[in-house]
């Protein structure tokens, strides 16, 4: 299914982001997520992210094409220095310092895990992450089940938006898939112990 108009979706996500429940969750950054999610046992999602376009999203703003697109939109500042552009090309851009668990996230890391999965401070621990329902209850978003998360940026505000194509949610999910292996899902702690015994 292809989505075309997204202002309502963007407003819904902004409402979600402004909710008191989210205020409790803080951004931790992809490197923190990578402490577990770079392991082969769990599917090396961190490595997959590093190879994908999302990790390079901020650097794209420095390209000649981005400058040209920005000019067409009436933007006179460099795209990588313009909030209107950076808000969708770097995770947690513009959030208050209280919203980050550590130092502010680096813009150069682009669109990190938490742009799609939500601020991870409360679901990042192995004990929580090994139980999907617990992770969701602790603030993890499910972009594979909620197209609105993607539509917050993949919408008609983007200078590369093509109204004839819209946003193909199914194709986008497939293109950025980084699943946890079925044998590990819901039993990461046990699988980790088994792997250690086998060494």
The per-residue pLDDT for range 60-89, each reduced to its tens digit, is 999 999 999 999 999 999 999 999 999 999
Q: What is the domain-level CATH number for residue 176?
A: 1.10.1130
Question: Is residue 12's pLDDT more than 80?
Answer: no
Say how many domains are in the chain: 1
pLDDT at residue 155 in the model: 96
Q: What's the pLDDT tens digit per position in 134-159?
A: 999 999 999 999 999 999 999 999 99
Burial of 82 (0-12, 13-18, 19+ CB in 10 A): middle
Average model confidence (pLDDT) for the chain?
88
pLDDT at residue 21 in the model: 45
Question: Is residue 115's pLDDT more than 90?
Answer: yes
Read off the pLDDT band of 197 (50, 70, 90). confident
Read off the pLDDT band of 196 (50, 70, 90). confident
pLDDT at residue 51 in the model: 95
pLDDT at residue 1 in the model: 47
pLDDT at residue 95 in the model: 92
User: Domain range spanning residue 129?
Assistant: 2-197
pLDDT at residue 187 in the model: 86
pLDDT at residue 44 in the model: 97
């Amino acid at each position: 299914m292809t989505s075309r108009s997204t202002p309502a979706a963007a407003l819904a996500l902004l409402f979600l982001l402004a909710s008191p429940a989210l205020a409790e969750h803080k951004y931790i950054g992809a490197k923190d997520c990578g402490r577990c999610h770079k392991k082969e046992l769990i599917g090396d999602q961190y490595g997959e992210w590093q190879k994908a376009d999302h990790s390079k999203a901020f650097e794209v703003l420095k390209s000649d094409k981005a400058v040209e697109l920005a000019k067409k939109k009436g933007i006179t500042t460099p795209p990588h220095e313009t909030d209107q552009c950076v808000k969708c090309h770097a995770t947690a851009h513009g959030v208050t310092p209280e919203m980050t668990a550590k130092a502010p996230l680096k813009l150069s890391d682009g669109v990190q895990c938490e742009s799609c999965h939500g601020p991870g401070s409360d679901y990042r621990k192995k004990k929580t992450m090994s139980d999907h329902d617990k992770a969701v209850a602790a603030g993890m978003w499910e972009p594979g089940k909620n197209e609105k998360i993607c539509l917050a940026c993949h919408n008609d505000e983007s200078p590369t938006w093509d109204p004839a194509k819209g946003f193909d949610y199914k194709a986008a999910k497939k293109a950025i898939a980084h699943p946890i292996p079925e044998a590990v899902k819901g039993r990461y702690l046990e699988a980790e112990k088994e792997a250690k015994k086998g060494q």
